[in-house]
Structure 1
Amino acid sequence: MVPLPSSAIAPAAAADSIVIDARNVTLALGQPPARVEILRGVDLQVRAGETVALLGPSGSGKSSLMAVLAGLERPSGGTVAVAGEAFERLDEDRLARARRGRIGLVLQAFHLLPTMTALENVAVPLELAGVRDAFARAEAELGAVGLGHRLGHYPAQLSGGEQQRVAIARALAPRPILLFADEPTGNLDGRTGAAIMDLLFNRHRATGATLFIITHDPGLAARCGRIIEFADGAIISDRAAA
Structure 2
Amino acid sequence: MTNPPLAISARNLTLTLGSDAAPVDILRGIDLDVADGEVVALLGPSGSGKSSLMAVLSGLERATSGSLTVAGQDFTALDEDALAEARRGRVGIVLQAFHLLPTMTAAENVATPMELSGASDVRARAEEELRAVGLGHRLDHYPTQLSGGEQQRVAIARATAPRPQLIFADEPTGNLDAATGHEIIDMLFARRKETGATLLIITHDPELAERCERVITMGDGVIASDTKSETAAQ
Q: TM-score, normalised by structure 1?
A: 0.91
Paired residue for 2:63?
Answer: 75
- Equivalent in 96, 117, 134 of residue 108 of structure 1: 96
- Equivalent in 27, 37, 55 of residue 15 of structure 2: 27
Contact 1:58 1:216 in 2 (8 A): no
- Equivalent in 221, 226, 234 of residue 238 of structure 1: 226
Paired residue for 2:193?
Answer: 205
Kindly report structure 1 stretches of 4+ aligned residues shifted beyond 4 Å: none
Instruction: Output the CA distance in 2 between the equivalents of 1:228 and 1:207.
Output: 23
- Equivalent in 52, 58, 61 of residue 46 of structure 2: 58
Instruction: Output the CA distance in 1 between the equivalents of 2:102 and 2:204.
Output: 29
State the 1:33 CA deviation: 4.9
Contact 2:62 2:80 in 1 (8 A): no
Q: Which amino acid aligns with 1:67?
A: A
State the 1:60 CA deviation: 1.1
Paired residue for 1:186?
Answer: 174
Residue deviations 1:56-84 (CA, integer Å, cap 9, x gap): 11221111001100111111111110122
Give the alignment's Cα RMSD to 1 decimal. Answer: 1.2
Q: Which amino acid aligns with 2:100?
A: L
Q: For 1:120, what is the secondary structure of its paired residue?
A: helix
State the 1:32 CA deviation: 5.1
Pick which of 99-108 and 28-37 moved more.
28-37
Paired residue for 1:4?
Answer: none
Instruction: Output the CA distance in 1 between the equivalents of 2:170 and 2:79.
Output: 25
Residue deviations 1:33-66 (CA, integer Å, cap 9, x gap): 5221110101000000100001111221111001
State the 1:30 CA deviation: 1.9
Instruction: Output the CA distance in 1 between the equivalents of 2:47 and 2:180.
Output: 25
- Equivalent in 113, 130, 136 of residue 142 of structure 1: 130
Q: Which amino acid aligns with 1:191?
A: A
Residue deviations 1:151-209 (CA, integer Å, cap 9, x gap): 01110010000000000000010000000000000000000000000001100110000
Instruction: Output the CA distance in 1 between the equivalents of 2:62 and 2:86.
Output: 14
Contact 1:119 1:139 in 2 (8 A): yes
Q: For 1:239, what is the secondary structure of its paired residue?
A: strand
Residues 1:49 and 2:43 aligned together: no
Q: TM-score, normalised by structure 2?
A: 0.94
Paired residue for 1:170?
Answer: 158
* Number of matched pairs: 228
Structure 1: where are the runs of 5+ without partners?
A: 1-14
Structure 2: where are the runs of 5+ without partners?
A: none
Pick which of 214-223 and 64-73 moved more.
214-223
Contact 2:89 2:117 in 1 (8 A): no
